[in-house]
């Protein structure tokens, strides 16, 4: 059973994935995987190499599919443990690592990507996210679902086939708690959602605006941690991703696809991570929370300073990043005015 352990000083939780316990010889020097679909467990025809699917989009039960969601074969957390037990060990605290870890296989095409798939197909991926959020809310042991993507070896992807992941946790993750607390503080002071104010200021100011339509914006956040970090937010106040309406799916798919395509043009398919910050499962419509997707290209490395202080050094001002991303429509490497 995996464990969640809490640091007694800063109260930071860590998942100790005891079942993947690794001896020194298991950390082999990094090998770049051979590219290609051969032997890929996510390619069509290999459906029996994954655990049985929990969601499928497109086609009949045994026919062709467009998006599949399957349990992770090597889950960081899993749901077999029944109730969540807490235990102590002197000054330390831990709880059972109950949870869910799933893989969203985004396309049958081994070489597809969110920047190249048709808009409607990207929309099907977004609908898969929404449906899994709605389904997992039913398990009362779970407090949060984080949907995220690791693209490229440098961003932590261990398989090349396009996929995102979902980990559901029995506690609220620290960053989400901090966002909820900070946003509540702001709401109590101003009676407004802080992200609504961010969207308003960025649309007016425009220097950090990357893309916009009626329903969504992509911005380079004012205090970007990473070069070319970009956040996607709904322009209207929406706490949870589950509230996404059918015609918004299409708009969001179009914007996300364009954003990933522009990063691809600027950096030749860069490694990146994204994480969807949505309201907690037990309070899906707080008036002070506003869902957003944080996309973080992996162009630099976190090092001792970041790990030691928790604050980040970003060599690219977000205003520059936004300008290059706006110009990327015209082709890579264009010099901004």
Task: Please select the residue that binds a copy of itself; options are 123, 274, 279, 281, rule is CB under 8 A.
Answer: 274
Angle at 16 between CA 14 and CA 17, to 5 degrees: 135
Nearest to 234 by CA among 274, 193, 189: 193
Determine, following the binding rule CB under 8 A, whether residue 32 of this chain makes contact with a copy of itself: no
Give kind and range of the element (H or E) at residue 55: strand 55-57
178 contacts a copy of itself (rule: CB under 8 A): yes
Question: Dihedrals φ, ψ of 77, to 5°?
Answer: -135, 155
Task: Tell me the closest approach of the beta carbon of residue 326 to a copy of itself, in angstroms.
Answer: 13
User: Can residue 231 be called a binding residue for a copy of itself (CB under 8 A)?
Assistant: no
Q: Which two tokens stand for residue 169?
A: 């946790």
Work out whether 236 is an interface residue with a copy of itself (CB under 8 A). no
CA angle 180–278–304, rounded 5-degree value: 70
CA distances (Å), origin 333, targets 207, 259, 291, 324, 329: 19, 16, 32, 8, 10
Among residues 47 and 84, whose Cβ is nearest to a copy of itself? Answer: 84
**Taking CB under 8 A as the rule, does residue 194 contact a copy of itself?**
yes
CB-based contact 103:69 (threshold 8 Å)? yes
For a copy of itself, give the closer residue by CB, 55 or 312.
312
The number of beta carbons lying within 10 Å of the beta carbon of residue 22 is 8
Per CB under 8 A, 13 contacts a copy of itself? yes
Please, what is the Cα angle at 57 between 52 and 63, to 5 degrees?
70
Residue 159 CB, nearest approach to a copy of itself (Å): 13
In terms of CB distance, is 178 or 329 closer to a copy of itself?
Answer: 178
- In the list 36, 51, 58, 333, the residue contacting a copy of itself (rule: CB under 8 A) is 333
- In the structure encoding, which two tokens stand for residue 181, read together? 């607390």
Could you confirm whether 163 is annotated as catalytic? Answer: yes
Q: Which of residues 154-173 bind a copy of itself (CB under 8 A)?
A: 154-157, 165, 167, 169, 173
> What is d(CA 315, CA 218) in angstroms, rounded to the nearest whole number?
20
Q: What is the rounded (10 degree) CA torsion for 318, 323, 325, 327?
A: -170
Our finding on whether 282 is near a copy of itself (CB under 8 A) is no
Separation CA 282–CA 13 (nearest Å):
20
Please provide residue 276's backbone torsions phi and psi, each rounded to the nearest 5 degrees.
-95, 115
Task: State whether the Cα torsion 133-136-142-145 is positive or negative.
Answer: negative
Q: Is 187 in the site for a copy of itself (CB under 8 A)?
A: no
Taking CB under 8 A as the rule, does residue 320 contact a copy of itself? yes
Establish if 227 lies at the interface with a copy of itself (CB under 8 A).
yes
Can you tell me which of 225, 237, 243, 261 binds a copy of itself, judged by CB under 8 A? Answer: 225
**Taking the complex as a whole, how short is the minimal distance between the CB of residue 241 and a copy of itself, in angstroms?**
13
Which of 39, 64, 90, 246 touches a copy of itself by CB under 8 A? Answer: 90
The reply to whether 143 sits near a copy of itself by the rule CB under 8 A is no
Stretch that binds a copy of itself, among 56-64, 108-116, 144-152, 212-220 (CB under 8 A): 144-152
For a copy of itself, give the closer residue by CB, 65 or 289: 289
| Binding of residue 149 to a copy of itself (CB under 8 A) | yes
What residues act catalytically?
A: 163
């Amino acid at each position: 059973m995996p464990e969640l352990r809490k640091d007694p000083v800063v109260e930071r939780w860590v998942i100790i994935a005891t079942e993947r316990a690794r001896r020194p010889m298991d950390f082999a020097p990094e090998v770049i995987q051979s590219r290609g679909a051969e032997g890929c467990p996510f390619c069509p025809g290999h459906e029996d190499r994954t655990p049985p699917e929990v969601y499928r989009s497109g086609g009949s039960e045994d026919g062709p599919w467009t998006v599949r969601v399957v349990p992770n074969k090597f889950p960081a957390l899993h749901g077999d443990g029944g109730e969540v037990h807490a235990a102590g060990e002197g000054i330390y605290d831990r709880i059972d690592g109950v949870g869910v870890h799933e893989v969203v296989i985004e396309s049958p095409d081994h070489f597809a990507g969110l920047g190249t798939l048709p808009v409607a197909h990207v929309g099907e991926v977004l609908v898969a996210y929404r449906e899994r959020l709605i389904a997992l809310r039913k398990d009362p042991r779970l407090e949060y679902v984080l949907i995220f993507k690791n693209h490229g070896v440098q961003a932590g992807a261990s398989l090349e086939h396009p996929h995102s992941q979902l980990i559901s946790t029995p506690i609220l993750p620290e960053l989400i708690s901090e966002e909820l607390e900070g946003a509540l503080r702001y709401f109590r002071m101003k009676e407004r959602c802080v992200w609504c104010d961010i969207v308003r200021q960025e649309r007016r100011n425009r220097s950090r605006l990357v893309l916009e339509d009626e329903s969504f914006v992509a911005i380079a956040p004012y205090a970007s941690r990473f070069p070319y970090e970009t956040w996607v937010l709904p322009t209207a106040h929406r706490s949870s991703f589950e509230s996404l309406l059918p015609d918004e799916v299409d708009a969001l798919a179009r914007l996300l696809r364009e954003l990933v395509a522009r990063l691809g043009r600027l950096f030749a398919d860069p490694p990146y991570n994204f994480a969807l910050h949505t309201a907690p499962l037990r309070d899906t419509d707080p008036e002070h929370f506003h869902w957003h997707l944080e996309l973080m290209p992996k162009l630099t490395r976190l090092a001792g300073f970041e790990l030691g202080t928790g604050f980040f050094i970003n060599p690219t001002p977000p205003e520059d990043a936004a300008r290059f991303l706006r110009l990327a429509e015209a082709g890579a490497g264009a010099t901004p005015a």
